[in-house]
Amino acid sequence: MTDQSELDHEVHQIDAVGLVCPLPILRLKKRIQNLPSGTQVEFLADDPSGRRDLQVLCDLTGHRIEWIREENAGVLRYRICLA
């Protein structure tokens, strides 16, 4: 059985690896639109303009990039807290 504290810390993963601008950000926007404020999201992307596009989206919406980690083959893993 899962207790409420585990549910509160669920992290949603959105994989946009292999997609090019503007598709990664469009996929992210679509998948987070009904998630509540405070939700943690891990977003994976390898698009060269992805970092800039994600920062612009966060600036416009109030979402916060918690950290960015470089994975294999140029993939970046972003942890985002939704506003």
As a whole number of Å, the end-to-end CA separation of the chain is 29
Q: How many domains does the chain have?
A: 1
| Residue 69 DSSP symbol | E
What are the tokens at 53?
Answer: 């596009």
- The CATH number given to whatever domain includes residue 42 is 3.30.110.40
Q: What is the pTM of this model?
A: 0.85
Question: Is the peptide bond preceding residue 22 cis, with omega within 30 degrees of 0?
Answer: yes
In which domain, by residue range, is 54 found?
A: 4-81
Mean pLDDT confidence for 71-76: 93
What's the pLDDT at 5?
42
pLDDT tens by residue, 20-42: 999 999 999 999 999 999 999 99
Catalytic residue selected from 15, 17, 19, 21:
21
Is 21 a residue of the active site? yes
